[in-house]
Chain A
Amino acid sequence: MTTAFPSRVAIVTPWYPSTQRPFLGAFVKAMVEATAPGEAPTLVYHCDEWAGRYSAAEDAEITRAHHELLPRTLSPLPTVGGASRLHLPVPLPVGLSYAEIAERHSATLRAALGGRPIEAPVVHAHVGLPGGWAALRNARPDARVFVTEHATFLDAVLDQPAAREMYAELLRRCAGVLAVGRAVRDPLVAAFPEHADKVRFVPNPVSFAQTRDTPVTALRRWLFVGGLIPRKGVLRLLEAFASCRAEDPALTLTFVGEGPLQDQLVSRATALGVAEAVRFTGAVAPAEALRLMREHDLLVHPSQFETFGMTVVEAAAAGMPVLVTRCGGPEESLAGIEEAAGELVPVADDPESLAAGYRRLRDRFAAGMDLALARRELAARYGYEAVAEAHRRIWFPEHVGAGSAESGQEHGI
């Protein structure tokens, strides 16, 4: 069996869409799809976390057996953009610290590689801990290691002393950290001001390849895409929807995603008398989520915090307006085109400000909105070509003509 997989660019990521979790890491897959065509061969090491509840003795036995079995299971398979993917499960007993989890990722990658380093001159990891750490510990000495940070839980990571130390070492030794927005860059620079020059903006790429068959004519079919969890503001959304539907019974709402709040949402929809207008699709593959965007009129994204808010840009790419909270990433990604793209509302607990935002947007939409302008501008910032070029400049600056490396700084490209 071989454990050597040479590539020009190696991607190390804990997140990548899979059968078990079809949503997780859709942006990593998009990044691969955007960048891999110009950087063949690209190989994705998907360090897939498999959590479970088991004893310390079982954990030791599982780890030993896994490291023995893993090399026999490796088979690079085609993924998007002409890249290949290796699937490496990382068994994790519940309750480990961020530092321990990062070490598990590193050890799993080492076991997969048979103790040899990753055969690539550029190793690009997603998420500092655990992805960046695993990449750093397994890259060959002359490789340049980059990290894209998108973790919404970065503050919690930096609150743990051992994890903070590992992050400091990662920043010392890596070639650069790419933040998808200020919500990520600011806490990093605040924690490690000495490495501020290493942290730059590069957003997640979004595909603008497909257009909708018929343009939006009225904002009646609402859509939410994401986890049904408190941070996403889904309960507030349901209340706001019920309030607006009292004025227009033709309104519908589709929740795409799953999570612990689903049962509560179902019973609340019944209590509010809107159950027949609310649909739950469960988790769907990213391509299906994009198709649903092209079949709805309005994306509502009432999150309390987002590092980037990829869904918002995807909605604009699908030709639909957005009603979104100022929760970090979205106000950056829509900077300068807020009016053309939709309506931004404050992060709040009350549903009425969200409902009021809808009414303003509905009235403006009836008077005419320039969704095409928003789409063009966002494609220039976050389209595959733009983001792939940004990565190319960072990964292989020696191949880029003088003067182009610092262009597009305003939006990180």
Chain B
Amino acid sequence: MSEQRVFFLALGGNRARVVVEEAARLAAAGGRATVVVDDVAQWRGQRFAPGVRVVELARLQRAHLPVAAEQLVVHRAPRKALRMLGRGRLAPWSQRAARAYERRVASRVHRRVFLPVYERLWGDARYRLLHREAARRGPFDLLVVADPVSIPMATRLAADGRMFPNVAYGLDSVSPGSVAQPA
């Protein structure tokens, strides 16, 4: 029972109660819970038990080189340049220009140019980032699929039977003794 390692995939974030409770139960029973969420902002108001490791997929993705490069070239560098130009009396103009640039140029380039190219060249980047993260922390005794949005990703991850020998749609769907069960 102790040291059971469970990988909770909770990318949708809309079944928070069951994820928080099951992860807490597992941690209390001596197991190791890794909870993968897409964006931690969706989980505001939820508190994970001590010992539960939370991994944010969006953060992993921001560290992905193409995304980081795009952020630097299209967003951060122009913003910084405008800030430097707009010191003193030019500050109001600079702030307006920065907002206009974000709206009219950066976001359009991101949506219309970067995302289609990124999808084409690194379409499964999220899967590869997640698999690499799982490999770093795994193998796991169980992959728990926590919400509908997580199902396609879970199906791909579960194909790696060495990393995830068992898959379930909740801790209360697996045999007693294999992982922490409801009291």
Contact = CB atoms under 8 A, between A and B. Distances in A.
- Majority SS at the chain A contact face: mixed
Contact of A18 (B145, B155, B172, B175): B172
A20 B145 CA distance: 14
A68 B174 CA distance: 18
A92 B14 CA distance: 12
A280 interface: no
Nearest to A72: B167
B145 A87 contact: no
Contacts of A19: 17-18, 21-22, 170-172, 182
Nearest to B152: A65
Given A69-B155, A72-B158, A77-B176, A52 B169 contact: no
Contacts of A272: none
A64 B22 CA distance: 26
B154 interface: yes
B15 A50 contact: yes
Contacts of B18: 18-20
B2 interface: no
| Residue of B155, B168, B172, B176 with highest tally of chain A CB at under 10 A | B155
Interface stretch (A54-62, A155-163, A183-191): A54-62
B155 A91 contact: no
B175 A54 contact: no
A72 B171 CA distance: 15
B21 A52 contact: no
Contacts of B21: 19
| Residue of B18, B168, B173 with highest tally of chain A CB at under 10 A | B173
A391 interface: no
Contacts of B158: 69, 72
B172 A87 contact: yes
A75 B173 contact: yes
Nearest to A89: B169
Interface residues of B, number: 27
A54 B148 contact: yes
Contacts of A195: none
Contacts of B68: none
Contacts of B130: none
A368 to B, nearest CB: 40
A52 B149 contact: yes
Contacts of A245: none
Interface string A237-266: 000000000000000000000000000000
A75 B154 contact: no
A69 B171 CA distance: 16
Interface string B1-36: 000000000001011011001100000000000000
B151 interface: yes
Contacts of A77: 172-176
A66 interface: yes
Contacts of B170: 18-19, 87
A73 interface: yes
A74 to B, nearest CB: 9
Nearest to A283: B17
Contact of A58 (B149, B168, B169, B172): B149
Given A69-B145, A75-B174, A77-B176, A61 B152 contact: yes
Contact of B169 (A65, A87, A92): A87
Contacts of A92: 148
B147 interface: yes
A48 B172 CA distance: 13
Interface in B140-183: 145, 147-149, 151-152, 154-155, 158, 167-176, 182
Contacts of B175: 75, 77
Interface of A: 18-20, 48, 50-54, 58, 61-62, 64-66, 68-69, 72-73, 75, 77-78, 87, 89, 91-93
Interface of B: 12, 14-15, 17-18, 21-22, 145, 147-149, 151-152, 154-155, 158, 167-176, 182
Task: Give the top 9 A-B pairs by smallest Cβ distance, nearest first.
Answer: A91-B148, A65-B155, A87-B173, A20-B18, A65-B152, A52-B148, A19-B18, A69-B155, A65-B151
